Amino acid sequence: MFELPPGLHGAHLRSDLTSALGRKQVRDLISDGRLVAVHRAVLVDRRTMLTLPTKAAASLLAAGPTAALTGQTAALIHGCTAADAGIIHVLVPYARKVHNFPGTRIHNGSLDEDDVVELDRLRTLALDRVVADMLCDENRGMALACADQALGQLDPRFRAEFKATVAERIMRRRDSRGRKRSAFLLDLATGLPESPAESRLLLELVDSGLPIPVAQHPVVDLDGSVRYRLDFAWLEPKIALEYDGYEAHAGRSERDELRDRDLRRRGWLVIRADVDDLRNPAAVVTQIRAAFRERRFVA
């Protein structure tokens, strides 16, 4: 069976394939359905056309050699899975005129080669710039979750330095819009939440006016060993909020109840939240405020 050249993750410039295989062979491969034209200049292998690397490679080939992945797509390439993979986001220099095409959004902006890294052969903006841009421009919950995931990839010793670099990036942006909100979100980001849902829940709690809790607070035994880590904790009133993500807690209801019982014996007041509370946090916020009153704290 005829094997296609690998191209860039299964994406090819039509001109390159025509030079390598001949015009007739390329037409036959398109007619047979093995190749799909996603842009007038780009063909992709149908077997991988929905995968992120192939989609990203195709968009970069169409946008030209000076383009780079940006925004949510760049975040995904860097391992920040809270971002959305649906649309491929590509940054091109101001001088280059490229239009959006199906599945790809073109952004014109400043593009310094020092800001570009190559990850898996894909030109991608550096992570600190990606996070800075997302904190200013993207959905706040997604931006915070990606910032937490970016920080979570780092050794804790280097997280403060990374945040300082992101803050500097934000101040250097030509577009000053989003600076105020980005400072708030960057301050919340710690790299400690264990899932994007926890990052989004934290933002909902703070937006509701509650004090900022500590993420992943350790509960230790008398010998100093860590017995539990609380998703969120308000230390002075000893109130804990545990987020029950489906995958993490499926089939664990009995174990969770034993854990909560032990935490109560240790003086903690435990509240549980799930995906429904993430969609509509009013009920869990009311519970938390009631817990603060019970502990004679104002929130």
Q: Residue 254: pLDDT above 90?
A: no
With a CB cutoff of 8 Å and minimum separation 6, the contacts of 44 are: 10, 11, 12, 35, 36, 38, 54, 58
Q: Residue 44: pLDDT above 70?
A: yes
Q: What pLDDT, in 10s, does the model give residues 200-234?
A: 999 999 999 999 999 999 999 999 999 999 999 99
For the entire predicted model, the pTM comes to: 0.92
**Is 215 domain-assigned?**
yes
State residue 3's pLDDT score: 83
**Is 71 domain-assigned?**
yes
**Is 180 domain-assigned?**
yes
CB atoms within 10 A of CB 156: 11
Cβ burial of 62 (10 Å; 0-12, 13-18, 19+) is: buried
**Is 5 domain-assigned?**
no
Q: d(Cα 4, Cα 12) in Å, to the nearest integer?
A: 10
State residue 244's pLDDT score: 92
Alpha-carbon Rg for the chain in angstroms: 24
Residues 106 and 201 in one domain: no
Number of separate domains in the chain: 3
User: Which residue in the block uniquely carries the two structure tokens 């062979």?
Assistant: 25
State residue 272's pLDDT score: 96
**pLDDT band at 37; cut points 50, 70, 90:** very high
Q: How far apart are the first and last CA of the chain?
A: 69
Residues 166 and 60 in one domain: yes
Print the domain residue range for 40.
Answer: 11-48
State residue 245's pLDDT score: 83
Residues 64 and 184 in one domain: yes
State residue 1's pLDDT score: 60
With a CB cutoff of 8 Å and minimum separation 6, the contacts of 192 are: 148, 152, 215, 216
| % pLDDT > 90, the chain | 89
Residues 96 and 137 in one domain: yes
